[in-house]
Amino acid sequence: MAGQAGWPGGRRQGRPLVRGAGVGLLVLAAVTGASARPHADLPGTGPAPTQMLVAPAATDGALASAAADAGRRPSTAADAVVTPRPPIAAATPPAAPGFDTLPAGPPPTAVPYGIGTRVYFAGHVTDLQDRFAAAFPRGDVPAQQRQFTTVTGSAGFAWTQFTGAGADVVHVVGQVSAAGGYTPFQRSTGRTSTLAVTTTGLLAMPESGQVYAARGSFVAAFTGSVNIDCGSCAVTAAGPRLVLDQWTGPTGQPEHQATWLWLPPAAIQRIDDRFRAVGRLGPGWLGLRDDDGCWRIAPATAPDRLGAGVCSLTTPLVDADGGRAVVVQAGRVRVVDPRTGAVLSTAALPAIPGWDPGLRYAVPAVWETADAYLVTVRVDSALALVRCSAARGTCQRSVRATVRPGVDRIVTERGPADAAPVA
């Protein structure tokens, strides 16, 4: 596999993000098969967890002081009168998230997704808990890091990435087969970045500056190309192409420097730095974002062929032929025509109240079929994967989970980084 002896440009040491005296990560354990445990996060019908308010109990010292005071006072008729205390108001349970009103539907099978350390794909559950343990040998990382950075499907596999701490930040990439087995693919080090997979099955490895085919053969490297050094690049996929968002500046305070479009292994094309990848199907789609949070969509093959403007709280999700884009407007998920801006349907998913990028959001994640798209939703401590019809606007709650240590999102294709409102 990648990173082993004999691989062209195998393992590469990227720019360090964290320097310390800690030792390197342990070598990954042997291949992990599909977990036999049941699907713990399938749609649930029970009520959302609630919190109860309990009156504080009196301490022993307070009771003793009250008894002493009673012994010093003279007995009067007034002492015999007991004034009833007002009843303690019952706790008001938090309102159930709106997605709980949706009918339950089957979980996705063709589209992989991750919850915690588990990958759900093609009807199998693969638990990579041991892999996470090997990547975090000291056990002193935040619980929220014990979940996937990326889970995306291409070329018959679910491609996964998680990020561990070490002398440098370490990215662990692997593939889960349709039978549920896991194969490690490669490890790379450097700044925080995410895996990108094209529709043709090419993998852009996080921070390695290299692209591989699904079966492991080296294709090309973009690091060191003319006028670009992607030691700090966020890579996303637009159809068979890759979009490289180049960043510069100190760690923790990076500034966006440039955007590049690349069809491996051909030359890299510099494009307007406001472009982002907004569709991975068909020829691939780009979105040109303005300062008002609105986007103009163009095919990745012709970035100058821009459509009408569509506004969205999140990055739009464009379908294969470019005729529909899933957007979020005023907390509601809608399907619009990016060529004209016309609203084609509004999802039955209720509006997300009090939109907050960290706690309450809806992110268009991936097109499951020609009509159905998936949305990852969080409302406070409740998570869901919702399936909606682009033509009818009807929706189903296909996966239900709760926020807990190691689980604060459902990961598929896009994550909560796409849920931040555009300034």
- The confidence score (pLDDT) of residue 414 equals 86
How many residues does the structure list for the chain? Answer: 423
* Helical segments of 216-332, H only: none
CATH number for domain 98-419, candidates 3.30.43, 1.20.120, 3.40.50, 2.130.10: 2.130.10
Q: How many CB atoms lie within 10 A of CB 187?
A: 23
List the beta bridge partners of residue 367: 373
8 Å CB contact between 345 and 337: no
- The confidence score (pLDDT) of residue 140 equals 60
C-alpha 36/C-alpha 241 separation (Å) is 37
Q: Compute the chain's Rg from CA coordinates.
A: 26
DSSP designation for 41:
T
- The confidence score (pLDDT) of residue 141 equals 64
- The confidence score (pLDDT) of residue 85 equals 47
8 Å CB contact between 334 and 316: no
The residue type of 373 is Y
Nearest to 198 by CA among 265, 267, 275, 148: 265
- The confidence score (pLDDT) of residue 203 equals 93
What does pLDDT average to in each consecutive run of 10 residues of the chain (423 residues)? Answer: 33 32 31 38 37 28 31 35 45 71 96 97 95 78 79 94 80 94 88 87 86 92 74 87 84 79 90 94 95 93 93 95 96 96 96 90 96 97 97 97 93 82 54
The residue type of 140 is D
- The confidence score (pLDDT) of residue 391 equals 97
C-alpha 182/C-alpha 177 separation (Å) is 7
* Per-position b or e across 330-367, b if 16+ CB within 10 A of its CB: ebebbbbbbbeeeeebebbbbebeebebebbbbbbbbb
Domain boundaries, the chain: 98-419
8 Å CB contact between 316 and 364: yes
